Structure 1
């Protein structure tokens, strides 16, 4: 994954996250309300946001690489959020999905549109057979989004996460290539 793949949807540009995006990442990942579901403590300063940019960049060169897109409304330059894959197991043709969206963009269908393009890319370009997601059981918006995209809930991972000072249960969901039915993005 040396060349970063840019994806486009009718409203969005999914692009590489760069240092100039650190302020937007601070706003997104510094929001305590949003981060209660994300699996990490909120970041608190621009240095942590820059470290997040670096983490996303470096993840592409790991033995089990990942890729994280910045989600940008085509009419604005600032990031709305981010999404992508991590823990790619090439032998098993599987990986995990992660995403975060700034609060000002909630409820507008942006993440659904972004994930639809991301899933297509994962199944086609990475040749994935299985995409996994873990979600806090009380994150109903995320669970509904994943279920609309075709993910199936498989079970509960007891105290599998730790953030904000607490061990937390997570729900395991997955989407298989054979079950994936891409929706026309314009209909989202």
Structure 2
């Protein structure tokens, strides 16, 4: 893939996650409320956040690559979002994101995802982007609906965290359904 695509929105810089982000990422991922529906158990160690940054960095070199952006607002990392599991033959991929509770309700993730979705449809030439959401995660469902995603159905016991299997609702957005925003790309 090309150099890391830095995206700019009105309030955010979407950039590559780096080693010095580990402490901020740990604060988000250790928060049980923030991770309640995310699909992983909360982190407890800085080394886990460092390993996650390494994993995200390696996504771009995989056979089915992905890109994970750190969401920086006023010099502070507030979360991340990304496109992954890129199936080039099918022109499809998956979407995931998380945000620090202190940033909830401010429209920052919506702003970030509009830039990422626009980049994915334009640069990756995607036809379909899908997201998996826990059926009780009403905030994420509302966000996806605002972005134009359609609920397709439920994958029974598709996830496992918190010591039990979890159903996941499938949402998708097709390229012709998306109303593009114009992210500013650098790098």
TM-score normalized by structure 2? Answer: 0.95
Q: Secondary structure at the match of 1:64?
A: coil
Deviation at 1:2, TM superposition (A): 4.0
Q: Distance in 2 between matches of 1:31 and 1:166?
A: 19
**Larger relative contact order (CA 8 Å, sep ≥ 6):** 2
Q: Distance in 2 between matches of 1:86 and 1:31?
A: 24
- 5+ long unaligned stretches in structure 1: none
Q: Distance in 1 between matches of 2:127 and 2:77?
A: 29
Identify the residue that residue 156 of structure 2 maps to in structure 1: 158
Identify the residue that residue 52 of structure 1 maps to in structure 2: 52
List aligned pairs for 1:33-112, cutoff 5 A: 33-73=33-73, 75=74, 77-112=75-110
Q: 1:153-184: per-residue Cα shift (whole Å, max 9, x none)?
A: 00000000001111000000000001111358
Q: 1:60-119: per-residue Cα shift (whole Å, max 9, x none)?
A: 11111110000011x2x2201100111000000000000000010000000000000000
Cα distance, 1:2–1:183 mapped onto 2, change above 3 Å: closer
Q: Distance in 1 between matches of 2:135 and 2:100?
A: 20
Identify the residue that residue 24 of structure 1 maps to in structure 2: 24
Q: Distance in 2 between matches of 1:57 and 1:87?
A: 14
Q: Distance in 2 between matches of 1:164 and 1:113?
A: 30
8 Å contact from structure 1 (residues 68, 85) kept in 2: yes
Structure 1 stretches of at least 4 aligned residues deviating more than 6 Å after TM superposition: none
Cα distance, 1:67–1:183 mapped onto 2, change above 3 Å: closer
Q: Secondary structure at the match of 1:61?
A: coil
Identify the residue that residue 120 of structure 1 maps to in structure 2: 118
Q: How many residues align?
A: 183
TM-score normalized by structure 1? Answer: 0.95
RMSD of the TM alignment (CA)? 1.1
Q: Distance in 1 between matches of 2:2 and 2:127?
A: 22
8 Å contact from structure 2 (residues 85, 93) kept in 1: yes
